[in-house]
A and B are shown apart, each in its own frame.
Chain A
Amino acid sequence: MPYVCPYCTTPHDTHEGLRAHILSDHTNEPLPRAPGRISITVNGEPYDLKVEPNETLYALIHDRLGLIGAKMFCDRGACGSCTVIMNHRPILSCMTLAIECDGAFIETVEGIAAAHHPLIEAYVTHHCMQCGYCTPGFVVTAKALLDRNPDPTEDEIREALSGNLCRCGTYPQHPKAVAEAGKILRGE
């Protein structure tokens, strides 16, 4: 009897049976999640997904949702290329287990682009990319910065982006693009 009601401890054979019991006997209480299932909102779209315990958020959004802007450069936790915004904070999706993201609001570079964020145009104009593999990670990190600090200084921009590695060495252009996007957002 693996499915025990969290409210009255009655056992049930199946998850569906447990859900039916809660719906009928505990009408005011939230339904339990099936093991391994998460609800997650990505770029405004709600998803209800079954995830494996060892599945990273990166694997979920890149391989399953097809949002390939998140990239895997370092292989684990050192380069920032897989950055996404989760609940308003930039995080490394390669170091985050999808199963821990239940209820989270995720923003990827595709969502930022779809919202016509001025960072995109600024990044293109200022040639902030060469090979382009790390570029989306920079855009996402920069977006998170502008969300919390609409008028960052150059030092603040450099500090915020210092966790993102670029082997092509595009670093000098990013502060220009981020500052320009900030200006547009501020209506200047």
Chain B
Amino acid sequence: MDDEREKIIAPENSMRPDKYPLEQYSSIGRRGLARKDGYEKATGYAVFTADVNLPGQLWLRILTCPYPHARIKAMDAGKAEVVPGVRAILRYDDPELPERADVSGHFGRGNDGYQPVLDRCGYWQGMPMGVAVVADTEDIANAALKLVEIEWEERPFNLDQEEALKPGAPLSNPEAFPNGNFILPSMTLQATRVWGNPDEGFKDSDRIIEWRMRKDKENWVGPERPNGLFRWNGRYPELWLKHQRPHLSKRQVAEYFKIPVSQVTLHCFYQGGSFGGWSQMALNMQPNIIAGIMSRRTGKPVKWQFTRREDFCGAGIDNARYQMKAGFKKDGTITAVAGTSWFGKKGFAHMGHFVENTSVRHVLQESNGAVLNIMPGSAFRCEQNMNIFCLGAVLNRVAEALDMDPTEVALKNDGCEGHPMAELARRKRELGFQERDSLRECIEAGKKAIEWDKKWHLPGTKKLPNGRMHGIGFVFTHEWNDSTGSGAMGIRIERDDGSARILGQRCDNGCAAETAYCQIAADELGFRYEDVHYRQFEEAGFAPMTPDASTNLTVNGFAVRNAARQLKQQILEIATTPRVTERPDMGYFPPFGEYKAEDLDIRDSVVYVKKQPSKRMTMAELVRPAYFMGKMDIGATEPLFAWGWQNQQGAQMSTPGPRLIFVRQAHFVEVEVDPETGQIDVIRVVNANDVGKAINPDAVEGQQYGGSVMGVSRARTEDMIYCPATGVVLNGNLIDYKINTMLDCGPIHTIIIETGMGYGPYGAVGVGEDVATVVPSALCAAIHNAIGKWVDLPATPDRVLKALGKIENVGGGR
């Protein structure tokens, strides 16, 4: 492929840096741009799926299992059937239902999503199962559900992974896991992973420390509750879907109802929160499939929406305990690390960040997962939680053991896949990156902002005049955007005014990615930002990369850019190339007919001759109206449209990646801990993120402070609590499950560093997932720095008091 052509269409090779960034930027990197979705969202006019109602729609409600583990012995829905307003009832034994189907919306994998549409058994309290009712109103459907008489067979249940894995433990799910409760972690699907030779690494160390730690289950708490609306246009369905992956969902619907994907019409409006959460859990397409069945039976649109409590019972993340071991030299060099996890229901890699951003050569990861009778696990901002929790713990424990500043331990061990920084420098040069030390830059900027050198002290040594203990914590890791996947997006020029519209249906999950795509398209086309638009709600024939692993921008950004570069070429060709019919006086006669495409350029949405800028024409003048009737010439340009595509081969969940990661982030948290009450006040948070290139700095900051708020919240108060006696969720509401309010976190100082060492367009890397994922570990370190004791997460006051030896037990069955 010649270089010019390649420059236009694709850096298809995601293993190398962007070879063709722009020489200068206008919209990209600019502050103060109005978000494309800003006005709609501020005024209340933004439409979310939950806001959509259709005339004559019915309401679907699904029974949720009242027990942590139970089977329906017998069911009588007779009383529900005769309730006025009830239009249809679907039972688990309905002959239309297949024995099993993929209802996951995220690829059914064995028992993870490939299961009965309406199960006869419930495997956790709150699992939708058994029977579904559609009625004229939600209230009628609820009332009818209560009239369904069920004889239950209650079964023994497991809430604790270590107990569930002991010999003689009852089976949590005898139908799907008849041989025991053991499961492997998602993604890696290997019980043991070894990098290097851990035994040798430990032998080589001066000192070894070991400890246990845990992090309990959090919930995603998406503001817009899961919901959907389904209707049949005769033989073919139309859906309004709250879902992070509209295209996968569409395929799922088509597969289930055995119709062509091309016949499914899908609308994906603004998403009231996403965070990976509910969209990723097994069973997440179940209500939509049931709504489809019921809509077909009744001939009416069917709407469903979970209650907040149902949602709370539906998906969480990170329920894991760890046995950790670290070997290190006296100077802080870590020679080997080993971590064994016991996770509940769903687990991800937990030692991968040592591989991805340290020079530690010897790493051992062992995973023990248990099927439990608790809500499904889900990658909620995000699957890297376990990885960073372990990296942060090792970093800070080694520092503690050596009385070292943890930032020095971090710099001592910075690297990638066991390579030291010198090797990384060589690879940066080879690849053509700038040779910058990302972690050092993040640490220096962060330390300065939080006044680390003035405030850091040995753990448990600084009591404040107000009686509280002062603490300051730090953690680092890399920036990531490494999901494997592809994204396709198109851009067309509107015929009547020359504005550009980006095409590609995707969910808006609030990161302002849509705004960033418009910035990229604007700069690549030479358009004003105001002339580029993107409404991603409707199907347009393109499937952008879904919001996974902060991979939006690095994949879709290239797709938009490639489309824009082709489109710009088309515009310049159109502006200079005549298209004459058999009649020489009839045809399209371009305004710049005496020039060649390469003689022209576009700036501020105006096409002009490079050597004679006064010869110019606005895009609106160039394209002219779609139906131009006034002259002999054809009157309008041919349609201007182009598409781009990018396929990224990324690292898959901490497998040593195909590309070394050079960009880092460092986070600092300052706390005051009251040793009498266990209360933790977060005084300040500092985020230093090397995002490579900030396409939209305001949006990057939004992800930084938003992630900090969420991270502090998760580390301090968020914990799903099950009743140990009944297996029922005790805090499934926003009063008892506490997320941060505006008063719960001190000032957040954000620092953006741009080394250009990302593999995305213009050197960018993702930032959306990681701050919320990393900050909990920094808070954990700050609490330790304050009281000199390690506290498991969430660090609730009772846990702090227990760590201080002031109480013996903590609440919540933990």
| B181, chain A: closest CB distance, angstroms | 32
Residue of A nearest to B222 (CB): A167
Q: In the complex, which residues of chain A have a beta carbon less than 8 angstroms from the beta carbon of B274?
A: 131
> A123 near B: Cβ within 8 Å?
yes
> B699 near A: Cβ within 8 Å?
yes
Bound complex: CA of A47 vs CA of B449, how far in Å? 55
Check if A130 sits within 8 Å of B706, measured CB to CB.
yes
Interface of chain B, main secondary structure:
loop
**CB-CB contacts below 8 Å: A116-175 with B:** 119-120, 123-125, 127-136, 139, 158-159, 161-174
> A67 near B: Cβ within 8 Å?
yes
Known: A72-B50, A167-B739. A129 touches B510 (CB 8 A): yes
Check if B44 sits within 8 Å of A67, measured CB to CB.
yes
Check if B743 sits within 8 Å of A159, measured CB to CB.
yes
Say which residue of B35, B44, B772 sits within 8 Å of A124 (CB atoms): B35
Q: Which stretch of A9-17, A24-32, A73-81, A95-103 is in the interface?
A: A73-81
Which of A70, A128, A131, A136 gathers most chain B CB within 10 Å? A131
| A94, chain B: closest CB distance, angstroms | 11
Interface range on chain A (Cβ under 8 Å from partner): 35 or more
Check if A75 sits within 8 Å of B733, measured CB to CB.
yes
Q: In the complex, which residues of chain A have a beta carbon less than 8 angstroms from the beta carbon of B41?
A: 129, 132, 135-136
Residue of B nearest to A160 (CB): B742
Bound complex: CA of A164 vs CA of B456, how far in Å? 34
Interface range on chain B (Cβ under 8 Å from partner): 35 or more
Known: A131-B270, A131-B272, A162-B743. A110 touches B43 (CB 8 A): yes
Residue of B nearest to A109 (CB): B44
Bound complex: CA of A16 vs CA of B124, how far in Å? 56
Check if A165 sits within 8 Å of B702, measured CB to CB.
no
What is the count of residue pairs linking A and B with beta-carbon distances less than 8 angstroms? 173
> A45 near B: Cβ within 8 Å?
no
Bound complex: CA of A70 vs CA of B48, how far in Å? 11
> A63 near B: Cβ within 8 Å?
yes
Bound complex: CA of A171 vs CA of B275, how far in Å? 17
Known: A113-B42, A123-B42, A125-B32. A170 touches B706 (CB 8 A): yes
> B627 near A: Cβ within 8 Å?
no
Residue of B nearest to A126 (CB): B698
> A104 near B: Cβ within 8 Å?
no
Bound complex: CA of A78 vs CA of B309, how far in Å? 13
Q: Which stretch of B246-254, B405-413, B423-431, B707-715 is in the interface?
A: B707-715
Check if A133 sits within 8 Å of B45, measured CB to CB.
no
| B227, chain A: closest CB distance, angstroms | 10
> A56 near B: Cβ within 8 Å?
no
Check if B39 sits within 8 Å of A78, measured CB to CB.
no
Q: In the complex, which residues of chain A have a beta carbon less than 8 angstroms from the beta carbon of B221?
A: 167
| B290, chain A: closest CB distance, angstroms | 21
Check if A168 sits within 8 Å of B510, measured CB to CB.
yes
| B315, chain A: closest CB distance, angstroms | 14
> A86 near B: Cβ within 8 Å?
no
Bound complex: CA of A185 vs CA of B41, how far in Å? 22
Bound complex: CA of A123 vs CA of B37, how far in Å? 12
| B50, chain A: closest CB distance, angstroms | 7
Say which residue of B272, B308, B735 sits within 8 Å of A132 (CB atoms): B272
Q: In the complex, which residues of chain B have a beta carbon less than 8 angstroms from the beta carbon of A127?
A: 35, 38, 512, 698-699, 701-702
Known: A69-B43, A131-B510, A132-B46. A169 touches B273 (CB 8 A): no
**CB-CB contacts below 8 Å: B208-254 with A:** 221-225
Check if B42 sits within 8 Å of A124, measured CB to CB.
yes
| A41, chain B: closest CB distance, angstroms | 18
Residue of B nearest to A169 (CB): B709
> B194 near A: Cβ within 8 Å?
no
Known: A75-B225, A171-B742, A172-B747. A130 touches B702 (CB 8 A): yes
Bound complex: CA of A140 vs CA of B16, how far in Å? 48
Known: A68-B51, A130-B706, A169-B708. A164 touches B742 (CB 8 A): yes
Check if A129 sits within 8 Å of B35, measured CB to CB.
yes
> B745 near A: Cβ within 8 Å?
yes
| A180, chain B: closest CB distance, angstroms | 13
> A19 near B: Cβ within 8 Å?
no
> B652 near A: Cβ within 8 Å?
no
| B224, chain A: closest CB distance, angstroms | 5
Q: List 19 A-B contacts (CB under 8 A).
A: A67-B44, A73-B223, A73-B308, A73-B734, A75-B225, A76-B308, A108-B44, A110-B45, A124-B34, A127-B699, A131-B271, A131-B508, A133-B223, A136-B44, A158-B742, A158-B743, A162-B743, A169-B708, A169-B772
18 new A-B contacts, CB < 8 A, other than A69-B43, A159-B743, are A54-B139, A68-B44, A71-B50, A72-B225, A74-B733, A76-B308, A110-B43, A112-B43, A123-B42, A124-B39, A124-B42, A125-B32, A133-B224, A133-B272, A136-B43, A162-B742, A167-B221, A172-B747
Q: Which residues of B contact A (CB under 8 A)?
A: 32, 34-35, 37-48, 50-51, 53, 139, 221-225, 270-275, 307-309, 508-512, 698-699, 701-702, 705-710, 713, 733-735, 739-743, 745, 747-748, 772
